[in-house]
Amino acid sequence: MSSGSSCECPECGTLVGINERYCPSCTLDMGAPNVRECAARTERETLQRRFDDARSKAMKNKAKQEWEFLSSCVQNESGVVVALPAQIARSIVTDPRLVYANYETLVGSGLRRPATQDNDRHRKAVASLLFGQADAQIRYGNLAIETESLGSYGDVSCRLRADAVRKRTSFLEENSYTFVRRHQMTPGDPIPPGYRAVWENRHKLALAKLGGQLKPGQRRSELRGLLVQSCGDRSNDEFIEAHIYGGFTVDSIESMTKITKAKRPNREAQMDVKIALSQFSKRRRKS
């Protein structure tokens, strides 16, 4: 039996909340709560409607080929990319025991100082609205066809292996700050359905968002570039946000590339990037 907010544990029959990772009775792993939420029927059906509407619009605009090309790129090639600051990229590659932790975990355990008061409150509020108590488990990245990433968040683009993230990653149509503001979400509001997707439906989310903008004759390189548009300023970045439940290590990383930015990082950061990339390619040669 399953309702919107809970489902029956297949092992012992206990009703488990959608926001609980483990069955409280038998400790069976029920899967990442963010993914289970996005797999709920209302989410899937609303996303399908938005996808169908965007498709009709693209067909009306005579952009069938462009639609099919973009859909195939996202379905067959896309993955999750995380932008890491130079020093963190270097640490994670040089110490395979290191697990990438998020802001909430680091601040909560006293390992880093919080951001400024306004930024800290803003961040906590947005994460709470979207994830509740699971916010400390969420790592943020973006959906990319190759390794396109966000220079406003880091210096090194790390593409994660699909088998390391597909079961625990969900996607949101845009930056979570922008999403919460656009939908005027306040505490207690449900998350508007149809703007999130599980791994298997990531192409539907991308096409629901971008399909209506497609035009006949758009070049392939232009279409491939639509998913991530960033000029280094967070407020103007356009991307599909990836929410990864739990941490990752160097073993979860498929590739590492330097993010080219308008403003060059300082000398220390450039050195960290160089070491991270060379150590990473050494590891790959060994394995």
- By CB under 5 A, name the binding residues for Zn ion: 9, 11-12, 14, 23, 25-26, 28
CA atoms within 13 A on the CB side of 121: 2
Report the nearest approach of Zn ion to the CB of residue 156 (Å): 41
Between 18 and 214, whose beta carbon lies closer to Zn ion?
A: 18
Between 14 and 56, whose beta carbon lies closer to Zn ion?
A: 14
How far, in Å, are 35, 85, 270, 281 from residue 94 at the CA level? 31, 14, 16, 12
- The amino acid sitting at 200 is E
Report the nearest approach of Zn ion to the CB of residue 111 (Å): 34
Report the nearest approach of Zn ion to the CB of residue 26 (Å): 3
Phi, psi of 239 (to 5 degrees): -165, 170
- The amino acid sitting at 4 is G
Report the nearest approach of Zn ion to the CB of residue 31 (Å): 13
> What own/partner pairs with CB < 8 Å and gap ≥ 24 does 70-74 have?
70/206, 70/207, 70/210, 70/211, 70/214, 70/223, 70/224, 70/226, 71/203, 71/206, 71/207, 73/145, 73/223, 73/224, 74/143, 74/145, 74/202, 74/203, 74/206, 74/207, 74/227
Between 26 and 59, whose beta carbon lies closer to Zn ion?
A: 26
Report the nearest approach of Zn ion to the CB of residue 18 (Å): 15
Cross-strand pairs, 68: none
Report the nearest approach of Zn ion to the CB of residue 39 (Å): 19
- How would you classify residue 194: left for phi > 0, otherwise alpha for psi between -120 and 50, otherwise beta? left
156-160 vs 196-198, strand pairing mode? unpaired
Between 12 and 231, whose beta carbon lies closer to Zn ion?
A: 12
Q: For residues 165 and 76, what is the distance between their CA atoms, to the nearest angstrom?
A: 16
Report the nearest approach of Zn ion to the CB of residue 104 (Å): 28
Between 13 and 216, whose beta carbon lies closer to Zn ion?
A: 13
Between 13 and 132, whose beta carbon lies closer to Zn ion?
A: 13
Residue 116: strand, helix, or coil: coil
Between 30 and 83, whose beta carbon lies closer to Zn ion?
A: 30
Q: Say if residues 142 and 81 touch (Cβ distance below 8 Å).
A: yes
